[in-house]
Structure 1
Amino acid sequence: MGEMIPNWLLQRTHLTPTRTALVFNEQTWSFQELKEIVLDYAMKLSGYSISHHSRVAILMKNRPKTVFLVHALQLVGAEIVFLNSRLTASELSYQINDSETTVLFYDLDFSTTAEDLERLCADLQSCSIEDLITSAKHIVNIHSEFDLDDISSIMYTSGTTGKPKGVQQTYGNHWWSAIGSSLNLGIQENDAWLCTVPIFHISGLSILMRSVIYGIPIFLMEEFNEEYANSLLQSGKVTIMSVVTAMLNRMLTALKDESYHENFRCMLLGGGPAPLPLLEKCAKKHIPVFQSYGMTETASQIVTLSPEDSFKKLGSAGKPLFPAQIKIVRNDGKDASALETGEIALKGPNITPGYLHHDMSVCDGWFLTGDLGYLDEDGFLYVQDRRSDLIISGGENVYPAEIEAVLMAHETVYEAGVTGINDTTWGQVAYAFIVGQNVTEEELLQFCREKLASYKIPKRIIQVKELPRNAANKLVRGKLRLLIEGRN
């Protein structure tokens, strides 16, 4: 048994019951009101045979009911499997079966997907959030304490082999992530965090956790809208916002010559390195952008560029959060010196204890990320590649191997190779190259649409005579982009 800590929502309500916890459109809830709704949800959950360590999946949008359900599931000690609503039923069924999830709660928007999942997953019981709300209450065993070693959430990240892996996140991971961030960014009395990133991503879920740990409100948006986000940042009500590059680009375009309220103090930028011109544009407008580096495995950012360094170290992800450590490992396994490129290795209490059913790449207690980067003489991290082949499109991780596997499942395709091409809107987009029989690009795109989420579908599928391979006959994805020179 690990270290015990009071249940965050119950403790927060005990300490500051009247503070605002959640704002959605024009509605607000105090922590006391939030707790009462969550207790109500918890009593209804027990009618679904959900108890400590039950695996429960949620397929829901950024809405208040999602916030209530997450806290209610924590209250009964369930392990929450967060499903990405952009994935197809086929992709999600793998995650449900792999995690041995027994119950699924979903928004009515996803009724069709839920029906498909019940068909694809033999042991799955699905229930809409509306049905849960109207179900009977039962006596429930409330977890008034959290064991920091207990698994709180599971999020799937696509493995480079094409099969996603379930990242287990403990209460301790979320706790140390929140504490590490607060020691870097500080907590102010007027703080409020704008959440427009999906709750099913660690960037969104971490905001929920920080809200109850810090005692600050979340301004929740169902989906990102740059005009509305800008208006909140200009109102003085919001002090912190989490974004990826594509979102920040859209906000700056819509902002034109205007600026944000002086209360706004932190634009936390994740999801891949930001282009220098964007950071310089923000610097001119006095928008405090903090680049960060993190992943599902580190329960949100683990490296952040501190305020006093934000302009003199443009392009850096910063230094590790207080409880974390970072080093660069060379190909020969030795520690790299300053300015030497190698694999980014991390250590800290916010790092996952491991994947479900998969080994984690660890060496002497250090988590090997597979990402390339270097540390400068002052210890600032510069990320050069989010894993050598990873494509980050609009903040979403896209793994070439997954798209290649789908393309090669088509009867006309013999070989497939996928790489990321720079794109002004999305940061990167996938381009696919195939060797095969006569088949049109549109036919293959349609084939992909049936099997992949929209953000994974290649922007182009180009037929070539052969793919670049090395002496071991392995595909060299880095050379694929050379195939389009002269084509566009």
Structure 2
Amino acid sequence: MRDWLSQRVASSPDHAALIRAEDGEAWTYTDLDRLVSETAGRLVAHGIEAGDRLGVLTPPYVGTVGLVHATMRIGGTFVPLGQDLTERELAERVERADLDAVVCAEPTEDAALGAVEECGGGGELPVPVFSVDDPAAEAVTAVHGVDPEPVDPPEWADSEYLCILFTSGTTGDPKPVPLTAGNVYSSAVASAFRLGVDQGDRWLVSLSLHHMGGLAPVYRSVLYGTTLVLREGFDPGGTADDIDTYDVTGISLVPTMLRRMLDRRGTLSDTLRVVLLGGAPASDELLERCRDYSIPVYPTYGMTETASQIATATPRQTRDRLGTVGRPLFATDVTLVDGDGSRVDAGESGEIVVDGPTVTPGYIGGVRTESADARDGAGGSDGVGGSAGGEPDAEALDRSAFGPHGLHTGDVGRFDDEGFLYVLNRLDDRIITGGENVEPGEVVDVLREFPPIDDAAVVGLDDDVWGERVSALLAVGDLMRGDTTTGGGETGDEGANDGDAGDDEAGDDGADDAEADGAEADGAEAGDAEAGDAEADDAAVDEPEGDAPLLVDEERLVSFARDRLAGFKIPKTVAYVDELPRTVSGTVDREAVRRILRTRGHDPRSDADLETAGFEPAEPAEPAEPTDSDEPTESADSTESAEPSGSTESTATPAASDDPDERGESDRGDENGDRNRDAVDDGGDGGGDSDGGDGGGDSDGSVTERDESDEAGAVDGTTDPRDDAGDSDEADTGHDDEADDDAVNDRDEK
């Protein structure tokens, strides 16, 4: 098939495609198609062609949405890059994904150019850098600096790479994850079956577009023929208000975002029928709060490698089985295995292994595995190159994570007797903070480079705001034994304080944005992977009776780390020992590390807003004097009897479907930037306004023309969600068994 937008505009030319939340400007599908055609033509004029990989480092502008579809129209592969990354981290991604060009905007030009220059070793740029704005540097070329050329859209095969996203591997190295057109399409279909889709749906995207939680709705809204509402950043009050202003029916959030929205507004608009909640485990308290206020929450579990959701629980299932992420989505096979790769029985825990049409064919940059495990490999085909999306078979794919049952996720879970999945923890020690994955080893490597730190252990500690906070135990040897001559900075009484009070405030505000980037977290809290090494030397834990005066110049340490790590990876709690506690086998005793940090840890002393984890606060966490706009938009009573429904303009009742949306994470965009970014060219082809919303879930749909087809269960969902269709994904109403009941009944029962 050709690019999805060209088919959507033929069937729904006048339907609202996109709304910019900041000012309400809208684009119909005809308007969006015109913008995409011009953008694609300009990219072709600059030499971009079918099979090229286009790295995109731009805020969540309307123009970024245009680039997503323009890349597909050309036959290229879209590779979103995170704005919160350092130049070094960006350079790694440029090289690992083997990009052919990078597109930036005015706020990201320096980072994009610096990253590409680093790839070239300071010489000629290895790949061109383009800007959707007027470039400041001579080495950067304006996208709108050439006239568009005609574009002949190629045909897409299911096996061709539609996009490449990054996730962190167990070693801490970013892994490029290719997702084929078939992966993304299948994920959208499964999502529609679980969550339901109505043509009047409006999906609000406040998450970063470099994670599936933000990117999936961009694709799915076009497949579903629904409307996307786009925010250029997240703040709790504004996002909650946008739901009400634009009659939003669906949104993807991580738990921290939802909690802050409820803290700020009390409840959410009763236009909502789906709140996909992922990126990190939701607390029982938050889920109960949503139940009490009739907020239709769908806890979900997914990952980048599966193009989003793996399993999703409906509101009723969430109420009846607290902690579950529901049953697997349509056509998704989930197997739990023990250490030997054998299936485990219901009630027993095991590693989650996933197979099905949504699973990536592998990781880019590895050597094809020839082990028996990989030769059996289920979980996605090795794609065959075609006219678009590159030639997957021409490059090596790392399939070492695949086995006879599919892709090994590294997460531990269990099934109950009725097939509901519960995600317990990680097999490794990955930390999930504010929806973002942090690999402890990567942080340890950076900390070890800073004198006088001899060694470090990095773990996640439970945190009410972040889910987990990155915490580091620093071994400083002689400094703990009294030699402070190598402290690298301040020593003495002035540093004895255990942290700055100001850090706590920063954490509240920064949380508003930090969580948005994680959509694609693996959905399980990092666990104590080395609990088996239980025999810790407790003497090593208790020996230091309290930290000495400030042993390390922590302001310099934080600055040092910021130059090498994304902000959310920097430790927010530290403590000092002369040597790290170890087990009898010589490995670091992570439980002992946690005990020390819990009892003696403090916030690093720094002028930096460490608690914001690299994100600027959107607004004060708790205004001293609430204003009218800070009051809840509606009381609990006002929403308790309301039925979750689609847009108020829609006459059709949404049908429940089957898949959770991704974990979202929000990259803060430059909300004050020139609006010519919206149209990737100076001419601003945008034209009219569209009402954009995504249908159902964090995902937006691989159901292309479902509104015109009865196939796969009336994805456009014209049935009343209150009508029970049973548990079958194939129900002719196009919705999952309890999906619609859950959302509606929860509100009705109030």
Measure, in 1, the Cα distance between the counterparts of 2:592 and 2:33.
55
Secondary structure of 1:146's counterpart equals: coil
Measure, in 1, the Cα distance between the counterparts of 2:330 and 2:280.
21
Equivalent residue for 2:3, pick from 7, 19, 27: 7
Contact 2:476–2:579, Cα closer than 8 Å, also in 1: no
Shift in Å, 1:114: 2.0
Given the two structures, how large is their TM-score scaled by the length of structure 2? Answer: 0.63
Q: Provide the residue aligned with 2:574 in structure 1.
A: 461
1:364-399 per-position Cα deviation (integer Å, ceiling 9, x unaligned): 141100111111111111111144311111111111
Q: Structure 1 residue 395 and structure 2 residue 435: aligned?
A: yes
Shift in Å, 1:348: 1.1
Shift in Å, 1:189: 2.9
Q: Provide the residue aligned with 2:590 in structure 1.
A: 477
Equivalent residue for 2:310, pick from 285, 299, 302: 302
In structure 1, give the amino acid aligned to 2:62.
Answer: P
Measure, in 2, the Cα distance between the counterparts of 1:169 and 1:196.
22
Q: Structure 1 residue 321 and structure 2 residue 324: aligned?
A: no
Measure, in 1, the Cα distance between the counterparts of 2:290 and 2:426.
23
Secondary structure of 1:310's counterpart equals: helix
Measure, in 1, the Cα distance between the counterparts of 2:469 and 2:254.
15
Q: Structure 1 residue 31 and structure 2 residue 17: aligned?
A: no
Contact 1:173–1:352, Cα closer than 8 Å, also in 2: yes
Aligned length: 481
Q: Structure 1 residue 95 and structure 2 residue 93: aligned?
A: yes
Give the CA RMSD over aligned residues.
1.6
Measure, in 1, the Cα distance between the counterparts of 2:75 and 2:470.
39
In structure 1, give the amino acid aligned to 2:59.
Answer: K
In structure 1, give the amino acid aligned to 2:11.
Answer: L
After superposition, the Cα gap between the structure-2 partners of 1:335 and 1:264, relative to the gap in structure 1 and judged at 3 Å, is same
Q: Provide the residue aligned with 1:427 in structure 2.
A: 467
In structure 1, give the amino acid aligned to 2:27.
Answer: W
Q: Structure 1 residue 202 and structure 2 residue 212: aligned?
A: yes
Q: Provide the residue aligned with 1:331 in structure 2.
A: 339
After superposition, the Cα gap between the structure-2 partners of 1:209 and 1:476, relative to the gap in structure 1 and judged at 3 Å, is farther
Q: Structure 1 residue 135 and structure 2 residue 146: aligned?
A: yes
Measure, in 1, the Cα distance between the counterparts of 2:252 and 2:458.
29
In structure 1, give the amino acid aligned to 2:572.
Answer: K
Shift in Å, 1:237: 1.3
Q: Provide the residue aligned with 1:486 in structure 2.
A: 599
Measure, in 1, the Cα distance between the counterparts of 2:598 and 2:410.
28
Equivalent residue for 2:194, pick from 184, 187, 191: 184
Secondary structure of 1:241's counterpart equals: strand
Measure, in 1, the Cα distance between the counterparts of 2:143 and 2:556.
42
Contact 1:160–1:402, Cα closer than 8 Å, also in 2: no
What is the percent sequence identity of the aligned residues? 35
Q: Structure 1 residue 126 and structure 2 residue 137: aligned?
A: no
Shift in Å, 1:47: 2.1
Q: Structure 1 residue 216 and structure 2 residue 329: aligned?
A: no
Measure, in 2, the Cα distance between the counterparts of 1:327 and 1:276.
26
After superposition, the Cα gap between the structure-2 partners of 1:100 and 1:259, relative to the gap in structure 1 and judged at 3 Å, is closer
Contact 1:236–1:264, Cα closer than 8 Å, also in 2: no
Shift in Å, 1:158: 1.5
Shift in Å, 1:476: 4.0
Larger strand share, 1 or 2: 1
Contact 1:62–1:199, Cα closer than 8 Å, also in 2: yes
In structure 2, give the amino acid aligned to 1:388.
Answer: D
Secondary structure of 2:473's counterpart equals: strand
Contact 1:419–1:477, Cα closer than 8 Å, also in 2: yes
Q: Provide the residue aligned with 1:260 in structure 2.
A: 269
| Unaligned stretches of 5+ residues in structure 2 | 121-125, 134-141, 367-397, 480-486, 488-551, 602-750
Equivalent residue for 1:348, pick from 345, 356, 368: 356
Shift in Å, 1:357: 1.4
Q: Provide the residue aligned with 1:292 in structure 2.
A: 300
Measure, in 2, the Cα distance between the counterparts of 1:305 and 1:407.
40
In structure 2, give the amino acid aligned to 1:282.
Answer: C
Secondary structure of 1:166's counterpart equals: strand
Shift in Å, 1:41: 0.5
Contact 1:162–1:405, Cα closer than 8 Å, also in 2: no
Q: Structure 1 residue 175 and structure 2 residue 185: aligned?
A: yes
After superposition, the Cα gap between the structure-2 partners of 1:407 and 1:210, relative to the gap in structure 1 and judged at 3 Å, is same
Secondary structure of 2:470's counterpart equals: strand
Contact 2:441–2:458, Cα closer than 8 Å, also in 1: yes
Equivalent residue for 1:237, pick from 247, 253, 272: 247
Secondary structure of 2:563's counterpart equals: helix
Q: Structure 1 residue 418 and structure 2 residue 458: aligned?
A: yes
Measure, in 2, the Cα distance between the counterparts of 1:447 and 1:202.
30
In structure 1, give the amino acid aligned to 2:353.
Answer: A
Contact 2:473–2:597, Cα closer than 8 Å, also in 1: no
Secondary structure of 2:363's counterpart equals: coil
Measure, in 1, the Cα distance between the counterparts of 2:245 and 2:107.
31
Q: Provide the residue aligned with 2:383 in structure 1.
A: none
Secondary structure of 1:176's counterpart equals: helix
| Unaligned stretches of 5+ residues in structure 1 | none
Measure, in 2, the Cα distance between the counterparts of 1:63 and 1:392.
27
Measure, in 2, the Cα distance between the counterparts of 1:64 and 1:387.
39
Q: Provide the residue aligned with 1:226 in structure 2.
A: 236
After superposition, the Cα gap between the structure-2 partners of 1:75 and 1:471, relative to the gap in structure 1 and judged at 3 Å, is farther
**Greater Cα shift, 379-388 or 103-112:** 379-388
Shift in Å, 1:134: 3.6
1:47-78 per-position Cα deviation (integer Å, ceiling 9, x unaligned): 22211211110001111000001110111111
Shift in Å, 1:98: 1.6
